[in-house]
């Protein structure tokens, strides 16, 4: 059975910014539609949507079967979700609200096998092909997962150089929504823009991919040109809401 290339490898080999979106609706049909639409990957959102492990597991199977990579944004940085999600076979994890290099190191350790980390052996899980992989094959596959942290406050941006230098870190994600909320600044405010540009420069020098989330195709193109390597555009609920509202508005307007 084939599967998509490991997400870190897709990032390294891509000749363009990878396009993804958030999954917030507990529907396998939605996941399949997103794959057919051409998204490179989806991020299952367990922080801001009521998606449990079973939903994430089923969505992962469908998405990977359709050729998409699957990341999961976990609810918090406690680490309690890492093991089961990784053994469910997800391609990577995004940890929200990481504000320091120490927090980044703890997150990476929870997703990494000993002696470098603390992830436990689950050879008979889906990630181990139900025990059909050998121990070395299973641990090697575990080394291919994407370990990402979200930078969502000014302290995280200020500590970005040390965070990016965390051994085993696969990438960072700049959460502009929470940055705008916590600072009261717009995304284009010079103070915030300069800090984000610094993160992009540090990450580029280290060969570390940087992601973010935006709303429109124009925003996606601007982010790609700015140096982001993986960008989420909108989300399943937003796309459904916007198109539903447009259909109603234009239908009633046409009939008035």
Mean pLDDT along residues 152-175: 97
Q: Which domain holds residue 126?
A: 7-255
Say yes or no to pLDDT of 255 above 60: no
User: How many domains are contained in the chain?
Assistant: 1
Within a domain: residue 118?
yes
Q: What is the CATH number of the domain that holds 23?
A: 3.20.20.60
Which of 159-196 are b and which e, b meaning 16 or more Cβ less than 10 Å from the residue's Cβ? Answer: bbeebbebebbbbbbbbbebbeeeeebeeeeeebeebb
Out of 9, 36, 37, 48, pick the active-site residue. 48
Span 78-105, average pLDDT: 97
Gap between the Cα atoms of 206 and 247, Å rounded: 46
Residue 48: active-site member:
yes
Residue 31 is assigned to a structural domain of this protein = yes
| Residue listed under structure tokens 């994407």 | 146
Q: How many CB atoms lie within 10 A of CB 88?
A: 21
**Phi-psi region for residue 168, left (φ > 0), alpha (ψ -120 to 50) or beta?**
left
In this prediction the pTM is 0.95
Q: Has residue 2 been placed in a domain?
A: no
Question: Considering the domain boundaries, does residue 198 fall inside one?
Answer: yes
Residue 1 lies in a domain: no
**Residue 200: Cβ-neighbour burial (10 angstroms; 0-12, 13-18, 19+):** buried
Residue 187 is predicted with a pLDDT of: 87
Residue 254 has pLDDT above 70, yes or no: no
pLDDT tens for each residue of 2-53: 677 899 999 999 999 999 999 999 999 999 999 999 999 999 999 999 999 9
* Cα(174)–Cα(200) distance, integer angstroms: 10
pLDDT of residue 2: 62
Indicate whether 28 belongs to any domain.
yes
Q: Confirm whether 99 is domain-assigned.
A: yes
E-only strand ranges, 121-170: 146-151
217-229 pLDDT, tens digit each: 999 999 999 999 9
């Amino acid at each position: 059975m084939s599967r998509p290339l490991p997400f870190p490898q897709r990032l390294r080999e891509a000749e363009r910014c990878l396009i993804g979106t958030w999954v917030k609706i507990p529907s396998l049909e939605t996941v399949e539609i997103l794959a057919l639409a051409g998204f490179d990957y989806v991020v299952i959102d367990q922080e801001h949507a009521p998606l449990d492990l079973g939903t994430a597991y089923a969505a992962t199977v469908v998405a990977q079967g359709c050729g998409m990579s699957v990341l999961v944004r976990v609810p918090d940085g406690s680490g309690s979700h890492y093991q089961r999600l990784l053994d469910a076979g997800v391609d990577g994890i995004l940890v929200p609200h990481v504000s320091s290099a120490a927090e980044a190191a703890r997150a990476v350790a929870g997703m990494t096998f000993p002696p470098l980390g603390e992830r436990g052996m689950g050879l008979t899980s889906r990630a181990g092909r139900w025990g059909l992989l050998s121990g070395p094959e299973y641990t090697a596959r575990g080394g291919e997962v994407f370990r990402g942290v979200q930078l969502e406050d000014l302290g995280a941006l200020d500590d970005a150089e040390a965070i990016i230098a965390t051994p085993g870190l696969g990438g960072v994600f700049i959460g502009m929504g929470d940055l705008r909320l916590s600072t009261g600044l717009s995304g284009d405010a010079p103070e915030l823009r300069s800090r984000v540009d610094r993160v992009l420069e540090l990450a580029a020098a280290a060969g570390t991919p940087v992601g973010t989330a935006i709303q429109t195709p124009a925003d996606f193109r601007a982010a790609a040109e700015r140096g982001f390597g993986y960008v989420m555009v909108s989300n399943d609920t937003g796309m459904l809401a916007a198109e539903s509202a447009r259909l109603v508005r234009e239908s009633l307007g046409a009939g008035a």
